[in-house]
């Protein structure tokens, strides 16, 4: 047990406590203290219950504590940074608490845009990639076009999409769709073209119908590459979602950041940025779980 | 049953036309075990794939029970050297899938049939394993089980034991002979291993290369080769060695 005890995060925790107790704000605002204590308890619990994860938990916590400490020292204790541009950690947590309903509602509208566009991208890019990759002639015809189209950074479509479509929602769905579509399509296409020919032969010996060949043999076999494309597509989707919202939305997480930067309310801007980071991390964690399940047949995802 | 008539096949190699099979004819009888034996690159796989309908010849025909073979036919199964299993499926799912595609039986019967053939291949304890968890020998047993589950009349096998170690190979040869005896099927078995061909086949088709043709066909008396160390076994081996020596002499003369 002793060997699993991480010195650095615990030492930083003590230092942080000392700094906070010495400052005035701690009495008015216990939020930061609460967050730090929660993190420390979590770190200690992981170290005690999951010894093999102890080192990583300790290191991550140490980095987090270190960042908070530097931030706290620069904004509160030494006050070297402009308070207008760099709000204190306590202030940020306060805004987060007070604005949570607004932010959460914004998240709702953002996720609706993202899921409809991303769902559309999945539903079109995968079947098209399979079919075109499988039909050599269409592939040869389509490849140059898709190379050029996929090379265009989708952000440049945003103003045009807003101009040609009646609502902002439709415009952002279109742009997010385009951003997510290409990585998924291209990875599906390339993997289909390069598929192991014996696998196809072994299916052909069964006199399999083309539809079943595509969806029951080729698709599962190229699933690793398809999922890599899907994860890139999802990240692109987030980037385009935020960009579109910053340009034309009246709600949503990207809008929140843009709106308050225009007012110079940088506390809210930081809250918005941190929140987006948390949301993307959470969504990617769900994605990784789904990926692990779909690829459970691969040695590296085997669950035991 | 399977009739190959005057098959010719060539491939483009570095811009030049390379004739791989030249005017080759061969007949495979019902319930016969035929080994195609020859050095690497002599066109064994090409011939087997044409027989199975996976590839087309430029000239000549293949008939299966008087049907012209242009694509894979019903009641035929193929075992590949590198197994060609579906790694995203478990052993049992792999064995079930072929029957599913061919619309054989109902769901429960398919699983029963698959279990039956997996048991025959000593895989009953690995039903739920994924392919990456299996050794090479177990993978090939899975591939054989899924082929047998289709109850084929012809089983095509392309160097199925080529990638396995000696012990596993001999064990699988026994298993295959066992199944061949119990089931009413023909086997067309490609190998470059002389003693494997003698041990398994009713007939050994000795092929020579460039272009691939049949050098000679050797009838094997099964009663004489059950023991691989017997005098008779060695006699068969000698005869095949001589055949290959002849092939070599011809090539040398050709080069001079
Ligand atoms: N799809 C193909 N394209 C081009 N050449 C091929 C192809 N398949 C086989 N060949 C050539 O045909 C010859 C015979 O191949 P193969 O039938 O695989 O021989 P074997 O199975 O007896 O080793 C080899 O020289 C090989 O390079
Ligand atoms: Mg071969």
Q: Which domains does chain A have, with CATH numbers?
A: 4-77 (no CATH), 89-303 (1.10.3720.10)
Measure CB to CB from residue B72 to each of A207, A297, A298 and give the nearest one.
A207
Helix, strand, or coil (residue A267): helix
Q: How far is the CA of B80 from the centre of ligand 1 (A)?
A: 15
Q: What is the pLDDT of residue B252?
A: 53
Cis bond before residue B211 (omega within 30° of 0): yes
The helix (H) or strand (E) run that includes residue B216 is strand B213-219
Cα–Cα distance, A230 to B246 (Å, whole number) = 59
Q: What is the pLDDT of residue A29?
A: 67
Cα–Cα distance, B21 to B7 (Å, whole number) = 7
Position B183 in a domain: yes
Q: What is the pLDDT of residue A181?
A: 96
Average pLDDT over residues A58-72: 92
- Chain A residues in contact with chain B using a Cβ-Cβ cutoff of 8 Å: 196, 198-199, 201-208, 212, 216-217, 220-221, 223, 296-299, 302
Q: What is the pLDDT of residue B225?
A: 86
Position B67 in a domain: yes
- CB contacts, 8 Å: B49 with chain A: 201
Same-domain check for residues B174 and B244:
yes
Q: What is the pLDDT of residue B15?
A: 84
Position B26 in a domain: no
Domain that holds residue B99: 82-151
Position B18 in a domain: no
Q: What is the pLDDT of residue B256?
A: 43
Q: How far is the CA of B153 from the centre of ligand 1 (A)?
A: 26
**Which span out of A40-44, A54-58, A117-121, A266-270 was modeled with the highest average pLDDT?**
A117-121
- CB contacts, 8 Å: A203 with chain B: 101
End-to-end CA separation in angstroms for chain B = 42
Position B25 in a domain: no
Atom 21, ligand 1: residue with shortest CA distance: B45
Same-domain check for residues B168 and B252:
yes
Helix, strand, or coil (residue B142): helix
Q: Is B191 in the pocket of ligand 1 (CB under 6 A)?
A: no
Q: How confident is the model at residue A1 (pLDDT cuts 50, 70, 90)?
A: very low
SS3 content of chain A, % helix, strand, coil (to 5): 85, 0, 15
Cis bond before residue B153 (omega within 30° of 0): no
Query: Among positive and negative, which fits the CA dihedral B166, B168, B174, B180?
Result: negative
Same-domain check for residues B188 and B112:
no
Position B17 in a domain: no
Which chain A residue has its CA at the smallest distance from B54's CA?
A: A201
Cα–Cα distance, A150 to A185 (Å, whole number) = 9
User: Which of B107, B130, B151 finishes a domain?
Assistant: B151
Q: Is B229 in the pocket of ligand 1 (CB under 6 A)?
A: no
Helix, strand, or coil (residue B84): coil
Token digits for B91?
Answer: 């052993």
Same-domain check for residues B133 and B113:
yes
Q: How confident is the model at residue A76 (pLDDT cuts 50, 70, 90)?
A: confident
Average pLDDT over residues A34-38: 92
Provide the number of structural domains found in chain B.
2
Q: Report the CATH number that the domain containing residue B71 is assigned in CATH.
A: 3.40.50.300
Same-domain check for residues B106 and B214:
no
Please tell me which residue, A273 or B247, carries the higher pLDDT value. A273
Same-domain check for residues B254 and B168:
yes
User: Which of B133, B151, B169 finishes a domain?
Assistant: B151
State which residues of chain B have pLDDT below 50.
Answer: 255-256
User: Which of B100, B127, B151 finishes a domain?
Assistant: B151
> How high does pLDDT run on average in chain A?
91
Query: Directed axis angle between helix B107-120 and helix B136-148, to 10°?
Result: 130
Q: What is the pLDDT of residue A27?
A: 67
Taking only the tens place, the pLDDT of each residue in A173-203 is 999 999 999 999 999 999 999 999 999 999 9
Cα–Cα distance, B176 to B72 (Å, whole number) = 23
Helix, strand, or coil (residue B212): strand
> What are the phi and psi torsion angles at B78 (to 5°)?
-130, 130
Same-domain check for residues B137 and B161:
no
Same-domain check for residues B103 and B230:
no
Same-domain check for residues B69 and B190:
yes
pTM attached to this predicted model: 0.89
Measure CB to CB from residue A212 to each of B82, B101, B132 and give the nearest one.
B101
Position B50 in a domain: yes
Same-domain check for residues B118 and B168:
no
Q: What is the pLDDT of residue B249?
A: 57
**% of chain A with per-residue pLDDT over 70:** 96
Count the Cβ atoms, other than its own, within 10 Å of residue B87. 17
Cα–Cα distance, A11 to B92 (Å, whole number) = 55
* Among B residues 143-172, those touching chain A with beta carbons less than 8 Å apart: 150
Position B21 in a domain: no
Average pLDDT over residues A137-147: 88
- CA B253 to chain centroid, in Å, comes to 33
Same-domain check for residues B101 and B126:
yes
Q: How confident is the model at residue A248 (pLDDT cuts 50, 70, 90)?
A: confident
For A58-69, b where at least 16 C-beta lie within 10 A, e where not — what string? Answer: beebbebbeebb
Same-domain check for residues B113 and B141:
yes
Cα–Cα distance, B108 to B113 (Å, whole number) = 9
């Amino acid at each position: 047990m002793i060997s699993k005890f991480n010195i650095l995060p615990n030492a930083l925790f003590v230092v942080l406590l000392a700094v906070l107790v010495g400052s005035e704000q701690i009495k008015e605002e216990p939020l930061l203290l609460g967050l730090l204590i929660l993190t420390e308890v979590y770190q200690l619990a992981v170290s005690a219950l999951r010894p093999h994860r102890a080192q990583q938990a300790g290191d991550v916590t140490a980095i987090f504590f270190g960042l908070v400490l530097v931030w706290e020292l620069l904004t509160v204790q030494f006050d070297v940074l402009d308070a207008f541009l760099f709000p204190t950690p306590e202030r940020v947590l306060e805004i987060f608490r007070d604005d949570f309903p607004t932010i959460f509602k914004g998240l709702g509208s953002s996720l609706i845009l993202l899921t409809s566009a991303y769902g559309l991208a999945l539903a079109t890019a995968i079947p098209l990639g399979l079919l075109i990759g499988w039909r050599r002639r269409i592939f040869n015809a389509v490849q140059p076009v898709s190379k050029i189209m996929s090379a265009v950074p989708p952000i440049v479509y945003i103003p045009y999409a807003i101009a040609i479509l009646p609502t902002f929602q439709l415009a952002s769905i279109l742009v997010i769709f385009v951003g997510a579509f290409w990585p998924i399509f291209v990875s599906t296409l390339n993997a289909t073209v390069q598929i192991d020919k014996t696998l196809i032969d072994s299916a052909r010996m069964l006199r399999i119908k083309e539809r079943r060949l595509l969806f029951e043999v080729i698709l599962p076999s190229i699933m690793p590459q398809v999922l890599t494309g899907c994860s890139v597509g999802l990240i692109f989707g987030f980037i385009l979602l935020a960009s579109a919202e910053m340009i034309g939305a009246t709600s949503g997480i990207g809008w929140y950041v843009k709106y308050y930067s225009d007012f110079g309310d940088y506390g809210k801007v930081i809250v918005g940025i941190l929140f987006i980071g948390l949301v993307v991390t959470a969504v990617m964690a769900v994605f990784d779980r789904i990926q692990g399940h779909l690829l459970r047949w691969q040695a590296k995802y085997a669950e035991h | 049953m399977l009739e190959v008539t005057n098959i010719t096949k060539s491939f483009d190699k570095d811009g030049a036309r390379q004739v791989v099979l030249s005017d080759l004819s061969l007949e495979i009888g019902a319930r016969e075990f035929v080994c195609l034996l020859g050095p690497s690159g002599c066109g064994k796989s090409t011939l087997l794939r044409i027989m199975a309908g996976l590839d087309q010849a430029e000239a000549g025909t293949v008939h299966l029970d008087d049907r012209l073979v242009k694509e894979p036919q019903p009641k035929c199964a193929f075992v590949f050297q590198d197994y060609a299993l579906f790694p995203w499926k478990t052993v049992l799912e792999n064995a079930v899938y072929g029957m599913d595609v061919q619309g054989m039986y109902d769901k429960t019967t398919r699983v029963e049939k698959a279990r039956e053939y997996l048991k025959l291949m000593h895989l009953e304890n690995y039903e739920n394993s994924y392919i990456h968890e299996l050794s090479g020998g177990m993978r090939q047993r899975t591939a054989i089980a899924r082929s047998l589950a289709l109850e084929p009349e012809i089983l095509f096998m392309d160097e199925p034991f080529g990638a396995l170690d000696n012990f596993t190979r001999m064990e699988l040869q026994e298993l295959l002979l066992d199944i061949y005896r119990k089931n009413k099927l023909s086997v067309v078995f490609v190998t470059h291993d002389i003693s494997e061909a003698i041990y398994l086949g009713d007939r050994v088709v000795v092929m020579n290369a460039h272009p691939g043709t049949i050098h000679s066909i050797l009838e094997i008396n099964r009663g004489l080769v059950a023991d691989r160390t017997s005098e008779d076994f060695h006699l068969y081996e000698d005869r095949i060695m001589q055949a290959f020596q002849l092939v070599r002499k011809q090539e040398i003369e050709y080069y001079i």
